Structure 1
Amino acid sequence: MGGNHAATGAAAWIAVTASTPIAFGWYPVSDASVFTGALVCAGAALLPDADHHSGTIANSLRPVSNVVVKGIEAVSGGHRKGTHSILGIAVFTAIAWALSLLSIDTGDALFGAILIGPGIMCVLLVAFALKALKITRDTKLLPWTMSVTLAVLIAIFAPEEWYWMPFSVALGCTVHIVGDLITTNGVPLLWPLKFRSPYWMRNKRGLELDWMWRAGGNLSLPILGDAGSVREWIFLIPVSLYAVTGIVWALLDQMGYDTMAIWYQIVAALPF
C-alpha cells in the first residue's frame, strides 16, 4: 500500500544514512539531509507505482501528475510491469542523476549555483510522500505549496545537500520493489524479459511453486501475503516508529542537543 511504501522508504533512508547507534551509516549525510532525505526517499519509494493511473502518485500533484502517470503507464506496459523491475530502478536513477546536473549560476556570492533539477525532483517526491502519508489528503493547493516551499528553501540555501538525490531515488525504488516482492503477486524483476513458470511445475501435486514463481513470470516471496493484509500493517508499526525516531534524532542534532548523551541515559535506564 502507498503509505506503507512511503514509511519503508523513510526508514531505509534513516538506516543507511544516519550516523547514530540505531543506524548503519553506510552512506553518511548531514543531519539536515537525514530528515529532508527521509521525506524525499519516502516519495521515491512510491515511484514504481507511477505506472498506475489511479494510484497515489497520479493524484498527488494534479493535473500534472495525471498526465505524467498516463505516459509512464503506457511506456512501462501497465501496473507492476516495467517500473517494478531492475531496469525500472536503473531508469529512475538515471533520470535523477541527469536532473542533478541541471543548475543555474546566479553569479551571486550568497546564492551561487541553484540546482534546479534536484529542486524539481524534490517537489515531485515530497508531494508523493505527503499524499501517501495522508498529510495533504485530497486538497489541491497544499501539496504544491508544501513541496515547492521545501524544494526552494533547500535549493537556495543548502544546494550542497542535493548530491544524494540519485542515491535516494535508487534506494526508494529498491525498497518499493522488495516490498512488492514479499507480497502475493510479486514483481517482474527481469522485465522486459518474461520467464513463465513451467506448466508442470504449476500443476504437479507435491511440487506446486506458483506461490513463488507466478504463472505470468513474476517472482514472489509472499511473507506479508496480499497487499494491505494484516501482516503488512503489523510490519508497518515498527518500521514507522523507527523512521520517526531517526527523523526526530536528526532534528534534535540539528538543533544542538546532545543526542548521544540522551541515548546513553536511556540505555543505562533499561532493565536488561
Structure 2
Amino acid sequence: MPAPDLQLLIDAALEAGEIAKRYDGQNAKTWHKPEGAGPVTEADLAVNDMLERELRGARPDYGWLSEESLDEGNRVQDAQVFIIDPIDGTRSFIEGSNTWAHSLAIAEHGEVTAAVVYLPRRDRLYVAEKGQGATLNGEPIQTTTMEALAGAKVLAARPAMEAALWKDTPPDFNRGYRPSLAYRMALVAQGRFDAMLTLRPTWEWDIAAGDLILREAGAATSDRHGNPLVFNNPDPRLAGVVAGNATLQSKICAALAPPHAPQ
C-alpha cells in the first residue's frame, strides 16, 4: 500500500486524466502566455484548479508550485511542497497527440519524496516513492546498463546536439525525442531509452516527478554541469537535466562543454 502522500498523488493524477480527456485538444480554448512562455488551454486550467483544490485541501501546510498558478514565493519557507505540471506537453495536447502527461511531485527540504507521471491517453502510470523503487502500472522498472556513448539511445531535442555544447564532437547517439520532459524521464526509468538530456534552463515542474522516478529506477540525475537536482528554489529553474545509469550519465556530463560555453 503506497504511503499517504503517494496515494494522494496517484488519486489526483487519475482524476486529472479524467478531466483532461473531456477536452479535445485541437478544439480547446487556447491562450499564449506572455514573453513566449508557451500555450495554455482550458484543460490545463481545469486540471490545475482541481489539483490545487484537492491537494492543498488535503495538505494545507504544504507549499505549492505549479506551472499554471501564480508563484507567490512563500513556498520556499515550507518543508514540503507540491511541484505540479497539470499537463506536461501542452503543445502535444493541442495537436491531438497522446504523449502529454500529468506530472505530480512532493519535495521535502529540496528532495522529491513522492512522484507520479501519468499519461491517460496511453494508460501509463509511473510511480515512485523515496526508498521504495519505481513502477509502471504496478510493475517494477529499472534503467538499462548501456555504458557506451556511441550507439546509446538518448532522448534529446535537436538543439542539444549542437557542436558548441560539447567539448569535442557531439556523441554518436541514436537520438529520439518526446515533447513531454516528464515522459522522456519516465521512458529512461523504464529502460526504453538509455539516457536523456536537456541543456536549456528547465522549470522544476517539468522534471521533479521524473527525477525521483529515475533515481528509484536506478538512474543517476544531475543538471548539465553535474550538480545534484535540488527543488523548491526561489527561482524554480534548473540548469537542464542529464539522466541515465551512473556510468553513462557521468560520461555524458564529462563530454559536455564547461559552463562558460554558449548556452
TM bucket (normalised to shorter chain) is under 0.3
- From the CA coordinates, give the structure whose radius of gyration is larger: 1
TM (normalized to structure 2)? Answer: 0.23
TM (normalized to structure 1)? Answer: 0.23
The structure whose residues are more often strand, as a share, is 2
Larger relative contact order (Cα-Cα within 8 Å, sequence gap ≥ 6):
1
